[in-house]
Chain A
Amino acid sequence: MGLKACSELVEVFMVSGVEPKPKLAIFDFTDCEGCEVALVSLREKLLDLAGEIEIVNWRLAQRRADEGPYDVVLIEGTPITQEEIDTLKFLREQTKILVGLGSCATLAGIPGIIDKESRGFWYKKIYGEKYKPRGIDALPLTAYVKVNYLIHGCPVEKKEVVRVMEELLAGKAPKPRGYSVCFECKLAGNPCRLLAKKICLGPITQGGCGAICISGGSPCYGCFGLRDSAQIDNLLHTLYKFSDSPEVEQYFSMFLKKTPEYARLFKRPRVKNGKT
């Protein structure tokens, strides 16, 4: 997320001031809804936030479903179906600020593992010949509309959600963390995976997650998105000392498959037997 788009956010909240409360709407497209569950897990903090804003539309949590316009729209999930793509474009017109919530919205994330070209094969295999599919392709929100801020994560880190919301409410423009996952991983006291010859995307990934996956013993697959001026080629140079290309690709394809960087590094010309 560039700073240019963020600077517009300040204006909205400077103008809207203290009264009336900013109107927030939360929508979800195709996804697991884990980021909304993370919102609910904020518990008391969510109530604090709910006191400062007015949640006017949230299908998961309430019946109230006001029509726009809104001040802020949070969107979770990947717009896969035509209805979702249309709704996304409609919501863009209805809101001053549009924020992507979680890696499905910000990167296409896990649903993005499936390529557009191989969907047909899997529809037939999973649903049979007669089935009329609804899904078109799993792409991030930014493939269709301009988005003001991206809260990455699979799922989002609760502290990051609170930080972004508080900054928006204070009229500030939220910015991504200026450091990589490595910085937080060191703080957490984890032994370095790369030194142990294990693949890790921490060095090129935006911080903010607290290195939670590595702390639990899992790899970093980069769900927080690539950081600004990520040294991808340098990381690859290190990774190829102890692993091969298919193995490295398996890591990059977990959350980053629909990024331009993935296309540059790994895109092959054709798809065989639906395997991607």
Chain B
Amino acid sequence: MEKPEFITKIEGHGALHFNWQKNKVWLEVAEGERLFEGMVVGRPATDLYWITPRICGVCPIAHNLAALKCVENTLGLKISDSTVLLRKLLLDAQMIQSHVLHLYFLVAPDYLGLDSGLEIIQTHPVYFQQALELKRVSDLIADMVGGRGIHPTATAAGGFHKVPSTEQLRGLRDEAEKMLAAAEGCVHLFSSLNYPEVKADFSLFSQANGKTYEVYDMKFITSNKKLKARSVGFEKVIDEEIKPYSTAKFGYHEGKGMMVGALARLALQGKLLKGRAKEFFKTADIDFQNPYHNNLAQAIETYHFVQEANGILEKLIENGVDSKATELPKEYKPKRASRGVGMVEAPRGGLYYEIEVDTQGLITHCNIITPTVQNLSSMEETAQVVLNQIKGQSKEKIQELLEMLIRAYDPCITCSVH
């Protein structure tokens, strides 16, 4: 039976195709279309954040939060300070879960000469224990704050159905502290790897607010190519292109590929890091023109998010969760037909939502731009750069290096198709 050679150890179905005579490479995305933007039309706005986390099982919390922000923006709902903190904590847990899954289970085997992440337990037991610890505690935070880590149940437009008690938060803090040592091990492991040497002049994009290293509350989209646009105008920054060989659209900015995610965030927000994350960033010597360094960037971010989660837990324990966090609106209907947007930085980069609702609160239009849609363009362009730069290697070796390149971007193919 003939079947496409899907790239292993990435989220979803993607395949690299080569024309060796012409030295050309392109990226096929073969995931089936689920048509989420059609699925939600005609349904209540409050179904948005229940349905769209199912776009992606690796970053469902990011989708849940972007959808919540979008619905709140559309319906004009305000949220409390504790709600913001709890959501930031959830997003920290999401970042750690996603980065760790990617780094240890999908990327590390390439560099440690293994077939599967499950083998690391034999070859590198200390690192493997650290990975499990990071996964365990970040899952615990996601479960306790979100109701469930994969596809949250406790979040709602306007706040939370349910919030953890102070006692539960204390328990979480004790666990979260244990992640600090494990995250330090993560930085050490991914600083010690030999990444392929590549130079690509690509454009890095991240949302930011200029004050803190931010993934929840951003104001604008910025790039290393001197762009500064308001986040709400994301549709003007990202042009989606449809390719005959792909069920995912490819996102471009002014005709050029975009790279988003950990490497882009560190390039554009790195100077705002604090504490030990800042030290790790300074000594890491990241090359922002080398896409393989995205993995090193993810490791440093993992430390940052662990550090931030600890800080937020302290704050929540000290001040207590305000009662407004669970005061939800009785009705979710706007005064008039409305449009709204919501965005976060997901583990893989900027995630943007836009909806329109009628006076009954039913969705009449929905548009979602995921990080991997933006990254696909850069992945394909950079794969071409690598293909051009590598000389004197076998086809198998080149193919392997390019698969590692695609994996370095941590593509979420299911997100990209949605």
What residues of chain A have their CB less than 8 Å away from a CB belonging to chain B? 28-38, 40-41, 43-44, 46-47, 50, 55, 58-65, 78, 80-81, 83-84, 86-87, 90, 109-111, 113-114, 118-119, 121-123, 125-128, 130-135, 138, 154-155, 212-213, 215-218, 221, 250, 254, 274-276
Contacts and interface: CB of A to CB of B under 8 A. Distances in A.
Q: Which of A41, A81, A123, A274 has the most chain B CB within a 10 Å cutoff?
A: A41
B105 A61 contact: yes
A34 B118 contact: no
Nearest to A38: B150
Contacts of B136: 43
Contact of A32 (B54, B106, B121): B54
Contacts, number: 189
B183 interface: no
A256 B83 CA distance: 32
Nearest to B326: A217
Contacts of A31: 57, 414
Given A59-B6, A155-B151, A81 B32 contact: yes
Interface of B: 1, 3-4, 6, 8-13, 30-35, 37-39, 41-44, 47, 50-51, 53-58, 60, 101, 105-106, 109, 115-118, 121, 132, 135-136, 139, 146-154, 156, 160-162, 242, 244, 247, 249, 414, 417
Nearest to B39: A113
Contacts of B6: 59
Given A61-B116, A62-B9, A30 B54 contact: no
A30 B242 CA distance: 19
B9 A111 contact: no
Q: Which of B39, B51, B115 has the most chain A CB within a 10 Å cutoff?
A: B39
25 contacts: A32-B55, A34-B54, A60-B10, A61-B117, A63-B109, A83-B30, A111-B34, A114-B39, A122-B37, A123-B33, A126-B38, A127-B242, A127-B249, A134-B30, A134-B32, A134-B33, A135-B247, A138-B34, A154-B151, A155-B150, A213-B148, A216-B146, A217-B162, A218-B147, A254-B47
A268 to B, nearest CB: 13
Nearest to A132: B244
Contacts of A216: 146-148, 152-154, 161-162
A126 B37 contact: yes
A40 B161 CA distance: 28
B147 A217 contact: yes
B56 A33 contact: yes
B161 A217 contact: yes
Contacts of A55: 116, 118
A154 to B, nearest CB: 7
A135 B162 contact: no
A34 B153 contact: no
B153 A217 contact: yes
Shortest 6 CB-CB contacts between residues of A and residues of B:
A217-B161, A34-B57, A216-B147, A216-B153, A80-B32, A30-B32
